[in-house]
């Protein structure tokens, strides 16, 4: 078992997308959320494939313009911006109730420098809005989503 774990950790094995593009979110205050992608070395995300949503939608998510990223010229798509390292986006909720639970769904799509790309992936984090300064943070990997958008 240890051998398998060591082999799996080897550089030759690409990471699953939720490990390559690890998503987390935390409440900064009752209406503000810090959303973060921690992108593993050797991997990158496409800026225009990063999308956020809140469940229930009635909580009213406000997403600011995303960080610029590094722009490169793509032969087919023209200018394409990508992210490496950490990407932090401050999200706002417009209509919430104290103690309410919300789920932040973060969709992303990216590639690995070794020459692999992943289909779009949705990761979800459940947050409990503060009632008596208690904040929960339970990440989970998202379910199926269309293979293209």
Which residue ranges make up the site for another protein (CB under 8 A)? 14, 16-17, 46, 49, 74-77, 109, 111, 114-119, 144, 146-148
**Smallest separation, CB 21 to another protein (Å):** 13
Closer to another protein at the Cβ: 75 or 133?
75
Closer to another protein at the Cβ: 17 or 69?
17
How is residue 108 written in tokens? 């992303």
- Distance (Å, rounded) from C-alpha 30 to C-alpha 130? 6
DSSP-derived 3-state class of residue 3: helix
Count of residues making up the chain? 149
What percent helix, strand, coil does the chain show, rounded to 5?
10, 50, 40
Closer to another protein at the Cβ: 92 or 112?
112
**Smallest separation, CB 109 to another protein (Å):** 7
Residue in the structure block whose two tokens are 């208690």: 134
**Smallest separation, CB 104 to another protein (Å):** 23
**Smallest separation, CB 94 to another protein (Å):** 32
How is residue 18 written in tokens? 């939720």
């Amino acid at each position: 078992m240890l051998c398998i774990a060591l082999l799996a950790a080897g550089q030759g094995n690409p990471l699953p997308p939720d490990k390559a593009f690890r998503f987390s979110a935390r409440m900064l205050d009752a209406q503000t959320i810090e959303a973060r992608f921690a992108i593993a070395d050797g991997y990158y995300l496409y800026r225009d494939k990063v999308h956020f949503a809140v469940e229930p939608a009635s909580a009213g998510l406000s997403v600011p313009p995303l960080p610029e990223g590094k722009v490169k010229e793509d032969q087919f798509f023209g200018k394409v911006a990508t992210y490496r390292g950490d990407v932090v986006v401050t999200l706002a909720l417009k209509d919430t109730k104290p103690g309410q639970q919300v789920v932040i769904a973060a969709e992303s799509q990216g590639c690995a420098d070794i020459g692999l790309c992943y289909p779009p992936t949705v990761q979800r984090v459940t947050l409990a809005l503060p009632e008596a300064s208690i904040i929960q943070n339970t990440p989970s990997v998202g379910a199926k989503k269309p293979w293209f958008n």
